Structure formats: C-alpha cells, structure tokens
Chain A
Amino acid sequence: MIVLSITTSAASGGVALVQNDTVLAEIAHVDPRGHAEHLFDLIDRAFTKANVTRGDVQLIAVDIGPGSFTGARIGVAAAKGIALGLGVHMIGVVSLAAMAARLRSEFPSQPFFAAAIDARKNELYLSIEDQEGAVRTPPCHIAYTSIAEHITPVIGNTSCVSIVDTAEHRAFAAPFASTALVEPPSPSWIAKLGAAQFLSLNNADRAALDPGNVVPLYVRPPDAVPLPAFAP
C-alpha cells in the first residue's frame, strides 16, 4: 500500500511517500509562513523522486496537530482535496503520536515516551504513551514550567524518552528524560503511523475514513469571548 503523507502543523513541514514501511521519498522544508505556497511543489518533487504516480496512492495520511491551528488546517484541507480528487481514504494522524511512534522504534527498551510541541503563549502540547503505544496522557496544553507535574505522576520511578520540537523546550524536558531529541513530527512517521492505524481497522471502520470526517485536533479553544448575553 502506498501512502502519501502531509505535515504542516509545525514550523517545519513536509511530505512523504511510504510503501509498506519503506520510505520511497521524504521531503521536508522549514518555513512556518510558507506551507500553503510550498506544499504542492514538495508533493510533486516527492512523486518524481519516488517514481510513482497519483493513481498509485491508496491512502492519504495527514498530520492533524496539535500544533499551529492555521498550519494544521492547510495540510488537512489540502489532503481533503487530494483524497476527494483521487477517491481514496484519508486518515488523520496526531502530531504527538507520530513523534512518540518514532521514539518507540528508536528506543524500544524504554517504558514511556513523552512528546511535546510548542503551543505558544508559554505553553506546550504534551502527550505520553507507553511501550505498547497506549496513550497515558492524551494531548493537552500545559505551561512550560509545569512539565514535571505532568510527567512524574505518569512515569513514576522509571524513565522516559521525550521528544520536543525546539531546543528551548529541551531544558524543561531533560530532567525527566533519558534522551531528549529535538525533532518535529516527520512526514514519514505520519505516513507509517497512518498506515498502521489504517491496517488495524476492519473494513467497516475503514469506510469511515472519509475526507469529510477528518478535522484538525486543536486541543485549545479559540480565544474569542462571547457577548455577556451568551456567556454560560
């Protein structure tokens, strides 16, 4: 099965073409304000590099965040258009889950995996998974400074590996982690995790993987404040 993946929820983004866990092409770029302008050029380059055609793609896997609201929407909307145009399934992959999945493959002996990504306003999006991939802390937004309060109760006396998306956050994560990596969600891991999730579903559940059903995972609500008459 050939999977086309798209990730635009972080400052760096990219696309990958992956076939049965083999990465045929992976192209990343760094330009937080230019995802919309660059995305289809990256896609064309990936197809050329992988030497496959549009019609070969059977699944679109897209990073749904958490991350930049607008960034995630660019990738999700583009993926919707592609899935609708090609008539193929589309699956949303949580950015933090793709980061954790990568850690699990690189550090298989570790019991816990924490993934964090910049949420602005001095906050991080955080989630923690265990060795089996079960989610121990679902994606949430927390203050930089409260990372200990969120990691320690989950991992207890054991250690974890963490992955963060900027060097700035490494300092907060390092005390609780045996290894701190600085990596955004990678396009090929979005594809691999999307494919794994797709293959784990039965046919009825796969039928629900429709481009109309995938929405970004924002975690944080919009900032707007309702008028007094509408306040809860």
Chain B
Amino acid sequence: MRRHPCFRALTAHSPKRLKSPLMLVLGIETSCDETAAAVVSDSGDVYSDVVRSQIASHAPYGGVVPEIASRDHARAVVPVVREAIAASGFTLAQIDGIAVTSRPGLSGALLVGLSAAKGLAWATQKPFVTVDHLVGHLLAVLLQRPGSSAPRPEYPFIALLVSGGHTAIYRVNGPELSLVHEIGATRDDAAGEAFDKVAKLLGLGYPGGPQIDRLAAIGNAARAGVTLPRGIADHRSFEMSFSGLKSAVARHVASLPSPPQDQALADLCAAFQATIVETLVSKTVRAAAREEVPRIVLAGGVAANKGLRARMAEVCTRRELALFVPPFSSCTDNAAMIAYAGALRLSRGETDTLSEGPATKTALLRVTRKGGGKR
C-alpha cells in the first residue's frame, strides 16, 4: 500500500498535528459484495484504501447472494480494517472518527460493517457517522489518491452515477445530502444490472460488464441485425429504463437457431452496449445543458466501462463540457469515498448515535417514479 507523500511530514509532528488541523477518518463499507476499509482525511487525501472483493464467492450463482455476502463480510471485516489502519501509517489512536455505510444496500451485509464500526467507535470513544453510499460515490471524484494529480471539479457538477445497483443523474451543489438533487433515474433495472443479466443470458459469466465491454470493442453494432429499444428515449425526460432492453436481447437470442458465437456475439454486445451508452450519455449531457452546469462527473462501477468513457469524452469535447472521470479504484465500491464523505460530515460537526440502523434505500430525495423493478 502506498503512503501519501505528506505522511512523513505529518508523523514528524505527530501525534497532534498542531500546525495543520486535519481530520483523519476510518471508513468501513459492506453494503454489497466488497468488504472495504480506508483511512482518508477531510481534505480528501487517501492514506489507505483496502477492498476485498467477493466476486469469486458469488460467481457460481450468477449474481450476488445476500446471505453469502453477509457471511463473507463477517469473516473479512477485521482483517480488512486492520490492513487499512496499518497501511495508512497511522495507528487507531491517531484516527479522529469512524464512518460507515448505513444505506442503501443489502441490510444483512450493511449490518456487519455498521455493527463493527459501532463497536470500534464505542470502544475507542471516537465520533461515529453514517454515510449514504450514493453520496460516497458522488464525492469519489474529489479523492486525492497518492501519485495522482487528476483535476477535481468545482461545485456544482452534474454526476452520472451508474453501477450494478443504481443508475441516476444528479446535480451536486455540495457534499451534503440536502445539496444533491436527483435529475432523473432508472425506473427499473440499474444499467449494471442490465449488463449482468445480458451477460448471463449470453453465457459470459459474472460480473458481465467487463466481458461485454471487451467484446463490444471488437464488435459492430450495425452488423448485429437487431434493433434494440432505447427505454424512455423521449428527449424531454431524464428518466431511464433498462429492463425492456434486456428483454429485447433475450427475445432476439431466443429467435436465433443457435446462441450467437464469436463475431456475431461481439456484434450483439456492441449493439447492446451502444444502446445503453447512448441513453446514459445523451441524458447526462442534456441535464448539463438544462442546468447550465458545464461539468460532468462519472461515478459508480459502470463508469469503468471503456465504451461509456470514450463516448462521454467525445460528446463532452464537442459540447465544450469538462468531463471528470475518477480512476477505476474510485468508481467501484470502496471505503475511501465513505471515509471522505464521513470526514466532511464530522468536520461540519455532525455525528450519529450508535442506535443508527441500516436502510435498503438511499436518503437522497427521488423524483423518478419507480416501476416494478428496483432502482
């Protein structure tokens, strides 16, 4: 684990860091299928960022199994927290607060991180804050990782948050819940969920996004011989829908004499990915135009998709919008973003009590009507 350049300077004047007051927060994240812990300051400096993925545990089931996720978290939480503290170069005693994801997510999985974080905060008598996972994702672009000098956007910015569990466009005026406004979101499946489901029906394994992205790069959408529906293509709406797209791919595959292979498979992946990317890019760019905010931020695991990044960059350049794409490690689930969002809450004087429970839904206000599926 790399240490931040100012680590030496800090510890030289430790333990109280009198010269430049800095709040160091340990963040813990167990909302889905990654057990993660990180030490981050309220200025966004990442001192450690440990993520233990459970992909191998869930792959045999073709998706995340909540009970298996919870069991894995219970095994991993202490080693992951210890590693994050050790790699940060600080000791637990030097950490100023404990932050943990309390929502949205799988409640059994959230409970593991939440209970462990409460135990740590109680035992060490440090301040405790809960963090909304989606706020964490939206602020991940502001993290300062060692060796990276990527520019950080000013507020306000338009963020496309797109992952396996969430897909929405936000206007972010600041780091507080009340300053984040949903512009539009999916009514049914998340985009990442559509990737996983389509990958499953094409026999590409789990998680499906990277496989489809790889094949789409060598495929030709025009040659796929299928017209896929763009859910809620109405250009006035910022709402999205991806379940019909998934069903259309399923119907197309069922109509073929045999499952698509090789180039035909790559072409179908290209057509599917182009449809999703076009919806995401066009709605995000239109949101930036409507809000008159010339800054776009990508967030969430699907932001790692090369097709999405390339198309968004192309359109942003043409429209003279500044695009901020965090490194891969800040896009996927991680605890650094949780620690940072928690540090900002603590620096505003906010804390939570140890009676805080988990919630499956975000605390961000929704404007999008919910369809039959999950958001």
Contacts and interface: CB of A to CB of B under 8 A. Distances in A.
B114 A36 contact: yes
Contacts of A223: 67
B124 A73 contact: no
Contact of B60 (A40, A41, A230): A230
B115 A84 contact: no
A184 to B, nearest CB: 19
A78 B78 contact: no
B67 A78 contact: no
B68 A69 contact: no
B288 to A, nearest CB: 40
A80 B77 contact: yes
Given A37-B357, A40-B118, A76-B74, A86 B65 contact: no
A40 B125 CA distance: 12
Contacts of A41: 354-355
A218 interface: yes
B106 to A, nearest CB: 10
Contacts of A54: 122-123, 125
Interface in B320-363: 354-358
Interface in A27-54: 34, 36-41, 43, 54
A172 to B, nearest CB: 27
B75 interface: yes
B92 interface: yes
A66 to B, nearest CB: 14
A85 to B, nearest CB: 3
B116 interface: yes
A210 B115 CA distance: 17
The binding surface of chain B is classed by DSSP as: helix
B60 A215 contact: no
Given A82-B123, A84-B120, A224-B61, A77 B67 contact: no
Interface string B101-115: 000000110011111
A87 B348 CA distance: 30
The binding surface of chain A is classed by DSSP as: helix
B60 to A, nearest CB: 4
B108 A36 contact: no
Interface in A215-232: 215-216, 218, 222-227, 230
A79 interface: yes
B156 interface: no
B108 A70 contact: yes
A112 to B, nearest CB: 32
Nearest to B358: A36
Contacts of A40: 118, 122, 354-355
Contacts of B108: 69-70, 73
Contacts of B113: 77
A175 interface: no
A21 B196 CA distance: 55
Interface in B354-375: 354-358
A80 B119 contact: yes
Contacts of A83: 119, 123
A124 interface: no
Contact of A77 (B62, B65, B111): B111
A81 interface: yes
B169 interface: no
A36 B82 contact: no
A82 B119 contact: yes
Contacts, number: 121
A54 B356 CA distance: 21
A78 B119 CA distance: 5
Given A78-B119, A222-B68, A73 B355 contact: no
B62 A227 contact: yes
Contact of B119 (A34, A73, A84): A84
A210 to B, nearest CB: 8
A41 B115 CA distance: 13
B71 interface: yes
Contacts of B115: 36, 39, 73-75, 77-78, 81
A219 B315 CA distance: 55
Interface string B40-70: 0000000000000000000111100101101
B111 A84 contact: no
Given A38-B355, A80-B77, A84-B82, A222 B119 contact: no
Nearest to A81: B119
| 5 closest cross-chain pairs (CB), A and B | A81-B119, A85-B123, A230-B60, A40-B354, A77-B115
Given A54-B122, A85-B119, A215-B74, 7 more contacts: A38-B355, A39-B354, A73-B70, A215-B75, A218-B71, A225-B61, A226-B61
Interface of B: 59-62, 65, 67-68, 70-71, 73-75, 77-79, 81-82, 92, 107-108, 111-125, 354-358
Interface of A: 34, 36-41, 43, 54, 69-70, 73-86, 210-212, 215-216, 218, 222-227, 230
29 contacts: A34-B357, A36-B111, A36-B358, A37-B357, A39-B118, A41-B355, A69-B70, A70-B111, A73-B112, A73-B115, A77-B112, A77-B114, A78-B116, A78-B119, A79-B119, A81-B118, A84-B81, A84-B82, A85-B92, A212-B79, A212-B82, A216-B71, A216-B74, A222-B67, A222-B71, A224-B61, A224-B65, A224-B68, A230-B60
